[in-house]
Amino acid sequence: MKLSSARTTAIHLWIFSTILLVVAAGVFSSRPAALQAQEQKISWNAKEKPIAEGIGSLRRLTDDVRVRATKDLALQIRNLPVTPNKVRLAYGLAMLSTEGDFGHDTLQEVATTLADALREQPLPGKPGQPARAYVELAELVRYEHVEASLDDPQFATANSKMEADNAKREQANFTLPDLSGKAWTLKELPGKVVVLNFWATWCPPCRKEMPDLELLYQQFKDQGLVILAVSDEEAEKVKSFIAQGKFTYPILLDLGRKVNELFEIEGIPKTFVYDRNGKLVAQSIDMRTRRQFLEMLAQAGLK
């Protein structure tokens, strides 16, 4: 959206091996070279190749152009004949469609395309562990409020897993040091609205949302907003990046990835909002804009 093997394992290696997309087209250019090298080369036919290249170029587009391009790509994928690549393309597009505020209509087209592709060619999964494409669809429905139905036990399992993960996150607690060595404990912030953000310096969507997080921190910190941004990278790398960006909210270090694992973090950026009573009231599945963050904070009573 990665250079250590632990990060690679936690985020993408468990995904159904052939669902990974288009190294050459740069669809997942924020993954590390080590992971890219493990991906299988995909053979695209004449109709699929321009779609794959279009997905690979999305991050280079301005937001207004990207909205139109994403919708067009969703429709092009939907019109493809049934092949394994159709599911790969639909899943790859879905993974990039939540990197910002591209509108409900765009996300609905993407979700419909992914649901149709999975309906036409169901993917194998493991007991209790659905293929990642089903999880992506379930997250779109739950967190982006689109409509999609799929009569597939893996989709049902994905929805059940989300419920279980959220119950776990509701009760989760941890203590981590920030860059200055100060310890922060999630459950020891009574009366505060807490934004828990998982990020990394190598992640383009993470970097893109950080200035908005800083603006929100300055706007609401006197009203009880605490932002805890968790990275699993080495301190010196993080310190250099934070100093360059002049970010002032607390940056926590999770070198052993215990907190990432506790919160079932499978991709970043990922953000959770807790209200003043410690209730998990909102979360994102990807990068958010300032407007979207404001909507999440409003659910915790900050306006």
* pLDDT tier at 40, thresholds 50, 70, 90: low
Last residue of a domain, one of 147, 165, 183: 165
Last residue of a domain, one of 165, 199, 227: 165
Q: Do 183 and 62 fall within a single domain?
A: no
* β-sheet bridge partners, residue 170: none
pTM beyond 0.85:
no
* The two three-digit tokens of residue 219, written as one number: 């706007």
Residue 281, SS3?
strand
Q: Do 90 and 215 fall within a single domain?
A: no
Q: Do 161 and 180 fall within a single domain?
A: no
Position 303 in a domain: no
| pLDDT one-digit tens code per residue, 137-168 | 999 999 999 999 999 999 999 999 999 999 99
CATH number of the domain encompassing residue 246: 3.40.30.10
Residue 231, SS3?
strand
Q: Do 98 and 237 fall within a single domain?
A: no
Q: Which amino acid is at 63?
A: D
Answer yes or no: are the C-beta atoms of 159 and 239 closer than 8 Å. Answer: no
Whole-number CA gyration radius for the chain: 19
Q: Do 224 and 139 fall within a single domain?
A: no
What is the phi-psi region of residue 118: left when phi exceeds 0, alpha when psi lies from -120 to 50, beta otherwise? alpha
Position 18 in a domain: yes
| pLDDT one-digit tens code per residue, 203-241 | 999 999 999 999 999 999 999 999 999 999 999 999 999
Average pLDDT for the chain: 88
Alpha-carbon distance of 114 to 188, in angstroms, equals: 41
* The two three-digit tokens of residue 35, written as one number: 């992971």
DSSP per-residue string spanning 104-135: HHHHHHHHHHHHHHHHHSPPP-BTTB--HHHH
* β-sheet bridge partners, residue 195: 227, 273
Tally of domains within the chain: 2
Last residue of a domain, one of 165, 191, 213: 165
CA angle, residues 238, 244, 248, in degrees to nearest 5: 75
* The two three-digit tokens of residue 195, written as one number: 């934004």
| pLDDT one-digit tens code per residue, 241-298 | 999 999 999 999 999 999 999 999 989 999 999 999 999 999 999 999 999 999 999 9
Position 184 in a domain: yes
Q: Which amino acid is at 278?
A: G
Whether the per-residue pLDDT at 51 is higher than 50: the answer is yes
Alpha-carbon distance of 288 to 290, in angstroms, equals: 7
Q: Do 152 and 205 fall within a single domain?
A: no
Answer yes or no: are the C-beta atoms of 55 and 73 closer than 8 Å. Answer: yes
Position 185 in a domain: yes
Domain that holds residue 146: 5-165
Position 170 in a domain: no
Angstrom CA distances, 75 to 80, 99, 108, stand at: 9, 19, 11
